[in-house]
Amino acid sequence: KFTVNFTITNLPYSSHLRNPHSAKFSATERVLTALLDQLFKRTSIHSVYTGCKMMAFRHAQKTEDTGVDAACTYNIDSAAPQFDRVILYHEVSNKTSGITNLGIYSLDQKSLYING
């Protein structure tokens, strides 16, 4: 399991994003889950990556931005390279144009955190 945290600058935070049963939460979760799946399937963990689940959307440092906390999983496979969060961070940075965009979302360039 590893966590991924980042901030979206073009998704205004609202109380609807705090409620996991709201339509806004569900729609945002679906889009982000698909985008993270596409992203991680193009990294060195592609063969062992199994998915991400949105844990929370939160106020970011700038209150109009939305922070994203996701828990992602991968299978431990002796044939696969060992999980290295530094390498994964650099791969994600490269595939998001220097941590500036993920699909339809603009990212705070200094907000990406990957914890393995």
Domain range annotation of the chain = 2-115
The predicted model scores a pTM of: 0.92
Question: How far apart are alpha carbons 74 and 45 in whole angstroms?
Answer: 8
What's the sign of the alpha-carbon dihedral 34, 40, 42, 47?
A: negative
Distance from the first to the final alpha carbon of the chain: 7
CATH code: domain 2-115 is 3.30.70.960
Query: Residues 9, 110: contact at Cβ < 8 Å?
Result: no
**Residue 5 DSSP label:** E
Question: And the tokens for 111?
Answer: 């907000």
Alpha helices in the chain (DSSP H): 23-40, 85-95
> In whole angstroms, what is the distance from residue 51 CA to residue 40 CA?
9
Q: What is the pLDDT of residues 73-105, one digit of tens each?
A: 998 876 766 789 999 999 999 999 999 999 999
Question: Using one digit for the tens of pLDDT, what is the confidence trace for 21-67?
Answer: 999 999 999 999 999 999 999 999 998 999 999 999 999 887 789 99
